[in-house]
């Protein structure tokens, strides 16, 4: 039995872009986009629409900006019911970078924010809904959020926006199932008119399990990425999620095909997936940045596999 | 807060031996054994004590037989409270291969069995307890067990043995958290005088999450392997489990050290870990054998990444 209200969102290129400054080739992104559409996934998020004042187009690839013209070329000729999404960072995006909906192929704008920036997020979300888009607010680093501040932010989101869903984002891959229960329940208590969304990272191999836990608790917006491609250990693998959900509208085969052709070759240059430095960061509820630095050292650098030293440094044992 | 009754069992070499016919070097096994002892793990299972009539010592390494003399050399000079375990397959081991306890460094004998072989398993378990060892019975392929047969087997185990724990073994990596709840509860209903143990495979990235779920449901014997090394996608990673449990007797650092030095180099020759062929087998609740064959093809063999064909074959679409 399936729950029709569940929406699955692919964010492979957006989250994976945090591992390579959004430098995917157009062909790779087109192949992944086509596969996700063919799989019947509800929404696909291609990248960020972040500010070119704050991110240099020389350093970052086109998927950090997702100009409307690029997205039109990307989607051209692919017939699909899958909605197109982009993400704006609350503290790194400009409202005026969003055209009115009539001039864009974008359907949904997702605003990523820390709790402390919730007012900026609300402003950008309202900018999006006023211009005719659907919108969500995705609260990042949720494992560091203080209850009092989070409660107030959720109250504001409920009262001050017309978004369709508000997400809890486990940026650090630190949550266990009981944390998921606690947070989904808290979100539901405040968000009477919005859906709850979840986005997990796999630092402790719990992204998929936590997504299932959230489904059991009635969260309905579920993020995944193809083969888990995403920051640090990556995300809930979309193919596992599609394999779990019983909705017959999904077809898992296009995902298997694109994993073999496009995703596995990326493993040669992008070190996502379960690795001890990420695991240590997740277990300690820390940002994965230092672990990512370690994982980007050459494979034969002994520092890269001196996990004890990294653990002692991260846990403050030697501080 | 921790639960003192929880026992953690490392079975890295035993389960990993299913990927390389138990051909680990003595030095590697000694290093892993020493690390697991230093980490404060309760029990370490080194390998099988299976029949040399049924397994050729020419084809299989010494850890498939674990002669007492080999185990004495292995443990010599390492002071530890960690108990030593070996495994016997109910249908592939001989009772007479077990010396009386006084002549052996082994503490615990684990009998692996399918439900249908439960009478053989009980005979071997009783052989072990009568000779002075502790024993467990580990019921494999639990996701294929029929309720009626499993109920009867558990009743027999309770009445006819003096084992310390009876395990549910998710050989195919097919269980979801609700299956874990159902099975742990069922085991507890029958096993009034024994502990419940759990052993999960990671085909769907749920081995660790399912272990946590079993802890929540009061299972107290928990299997893991260092860095998840084990058959197919491997097992619950021991370092994650130790990171989760709060018992101060554990020290995670020896595990990190041995992962860097001994386990990661094994990845060059042993293809365990999350991979699509294993995931397909787990999702379809099938034995991973066919997936393992695929994963053992050369990396540049196009069959190895034709996941759609493998999925259609395994799911019977083309049958």
H/E segment holding residue A86: strand A83-89
Q: Which of A250, A308, A309 to mutate to test the interface with B (most CBs of B within 10 A)?
A: A308
B318 pLDDT above the threshold of 70: no
Do B63 and B98 fall within a single domain?
yes
Average pLDDT score over residue span B299-303? 92
**pLDDT averaged over every residue in chain A:** 97
A203, A303: one domain: no
Assess whether B246 and B283 both reside in one domain: no
A206 and A296, same domain (yes or no): no
The contacts of residue A241 (CB under 8 Å, 6+ apart) are A8, A208, A211, A222, A224
Q: Rounded distance, CA A295 to CA A303, Å?
A: 10
pLDDT of residue B319 exceeding 60: no
The per-residue pLDDT for B188 is 98
pLDDT value at B137 more than 90: yes
B54 in a domain, yes or no? yes
CB pairs under 8 A between A and B: 104
Percent of chain A with pLDDT over 70: 99
- Condensed to tens digits (0 to 9), the pLDDT of residues B65-119 reads 999 999 999 999 999 999 999 999 999 999 999 999 999 999 999 999 999 999 9
CA distance B79 to A63: 57
Average pLDDT over residues B126-146: 98
User: How far A233 CA lies from chain B's nearest CA (Å)?
Assistant: 12
Domain coverage including residue A293? 276-314
Q: What is the largest CA-CA distance in chain B?
A: 57
Contact B243/B252 with Cβ under 8 angstroms? yes
Residue B317 confidence class, pLDDT cut points 50, 70, 90 = low
Asked if residue A316 has pLDDT above 90, the reply is no
Output the DSSP codes for chain B: ---TT-EEEE-HHHHHTTTTTT---HHHHHHHHHHHHHTT-SEEEEEE---TTTS-TTTS-GGGT--HHHHHHHHTT---SPEEEEEEETTT--GGGS--GGG-S--EEEEEE-GGGHHHHHHHHHHHHHTT-EEEEEE--GGG--HHHHHHHHHHHHHH---SEEEEEETTS---HHHHHHHHHHHHHH-TTSEEEEEEB-TTS-HHHHHHHHHHTT--EEEEBGGG-SSTT-B-BHHHHHHH---TT--SHHHHHHIIIIIHHHTTT---SS-HHHHHHHHTT--THHHHHHHTS-TT-GGGG-HHHHHHHHTTTT-
The 10s digit of each residue's pLDDT in A91-135 is: 999 999 999 999 999 999 999 999 999 999 999 999 999 999 999
Is B2 a domain residue? no
Give A22's pLDDT tier (boundaries 50, 70, 90).
very high
DSSP at A259:
I
The answer as to whether B319 is a domain residue is no
Instruction: Taking residues A33-46, report their average pLDDT.
Output: 98
Asked whether residue B105 falls in the same domain as residue B208, the answer is yes
pLDDT in tens, A239-294: 999 999 989 999 999 999 999 999 999 999 999 999 999 999 999 999 999 999 99
Mean pLDDT, range A36-58, rounded to an integer = 97
Tell me whether residue A271 is in a domain: no
CA-CA distances (angstroms) from residue A143 to A160, A207, A295? 24, 14, 23
A-chain residues near B252 (CB < 8 A): 311
Residue A55 lies in a domain: yes
pLDDT the model gives residue B184? 98
Same domain as B199, residue B180: yes
* Phi/psi-derived region of residue B310, left when phi > 0, alpha when psi is between -120 and 50, beta in every other case: alpha
Q: Are residues A135 and A99 in the same domain?
A: yes
Nearest residue of A to residue B301 by CA position? A260
- For residue A279, list chain B residues with Cβ-Cβ distance below 8 A: 237, 239-240, 243
Q: What is the average per-residue pLDDT within B257-270?
A: 97
A214 lies in the same domain as A299: no
Instruction: List the CATH number of the domain containing A123.
Output: 3.20.20.70
Q: Which chain B residues contact residue A213 at CB under 8 A?
A: 177
Mean pLDDT of chain B: 97
**Is A160 a member of any domain?**
yes
Chain B interface residues (partner A, CB cutoff 8 A):
176-177, 202, 204-210, 212-213, 216, 227-228, 237, 239-240, 243-244, 252-253, 256-257, 259-261, 264, 273-274, 276, 279-280, 283, 305-308, 311-312
Which DSSP string do the residues of A184-247 spell out, in sequence order? HHHHHHH-TTSEEEEEEB-TTS-HHHHHHHHHHTT--EEEEBGGG-SSTT-B-BHHHHHHH---
Residues of A in contact with B243 (CB under 8 A): 204, 279, 283
Q: How does residue B50 score in pLDDT terms, banded at 50, 70 and 90?
A: very high
Q: Does a structural domain hold residue A319? A: no
A153: pLDDT confidence band, cut at 50, 70 and 90?
A: very high
Same domain assignment for residues B164 and B73? yes
Confidence of residue A1 (pLDDT cuts 50, 70, 90): confident
Whether A298 and A168 share a structural domain: no
In chain B, % of residues over pLDDT 70: 99
- How many structural domains are present in chain A? 2
B276 contact residues in A (CB cutoff 8 A)? 227, 239, 256, 259-260
For residues B226 and B291, membership in a common domain is answered with no
Same domain, residue pair B81 and B212? yes
Whole-number pLDDT of residue A319:
45
- Binary contact (B253, A279; C-beta < 8 A): no
> For residue A2, is it within any domain?
no
Q: Which helix (H) or strand (E) holds A150?
A: helix A147-160
**H/E stretch holding A83:** strand A83-89
pLDDT of A305 > 60? The answer is: yes
């Amino acid at each position: 039995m399936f729950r029709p209200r569940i929406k699955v969102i692919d964010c492979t290129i957006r989250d994976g872009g945090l591992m390579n400054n959004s430098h995917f080739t157009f062909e790779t992104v087109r192949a992944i986009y086509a596969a996700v559409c063919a799989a019947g996934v509800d929404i696909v998020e291609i990248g960020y629409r972040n500010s070119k004042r704050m991110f240099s187009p020389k350093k970052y690839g086109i998927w950090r900006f997702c100009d409307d013209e690029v997205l039109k070329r990307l989607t051209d000729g692919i017939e699909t019911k899958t909605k197109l999404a982009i993400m704006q960072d609350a503290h790194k995006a400009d409202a005026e970078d969003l055209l009115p909906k009539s001039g864009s192929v974008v359907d949904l704008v997702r605003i990523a924010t820390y709790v402390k920036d919730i007012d900026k997020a609300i402003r950008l979300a309202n900018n999006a809904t006023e211009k005719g888009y659907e919108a969500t607010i995705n609260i990042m680093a949720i494992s560091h959020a203080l209850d009092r501040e989070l409660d107030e932010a959720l109250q504001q989101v409920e009262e001050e926006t017309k978004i369709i869903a508000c997400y809890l984002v486990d940026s650090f891959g630190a949550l266990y199932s009981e944390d998921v229960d606690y947070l989904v329940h808290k979100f539901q208590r405040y968000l009477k008119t919005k859906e709850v969304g979840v986005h997990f990272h796999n630092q402790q191999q719990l992204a998929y399990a936590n997504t299932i836990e959230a489904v059991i608790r009635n969260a309905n917006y579920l993020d995944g990425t193809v083969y888990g491609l995403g920051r640090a250990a990556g995300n809930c693998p979309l193919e596992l999620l599609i394999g779990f959900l019983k909705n017959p509208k999904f077809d898992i085969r296009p995902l298997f095909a694109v994993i073999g052709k496009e995703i596995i070759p990326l493993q040669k240059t992008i070190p996502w997936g379960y690795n001890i430095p990420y695991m240590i960061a997740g277990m300690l509820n820390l940002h994965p940045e230092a672990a990512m630095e370690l994982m980007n050292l050459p494979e034969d650098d002994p520092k890269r596999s001196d996990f004890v030293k990294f653990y002692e440094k991260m846990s403050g044992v030697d501080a």
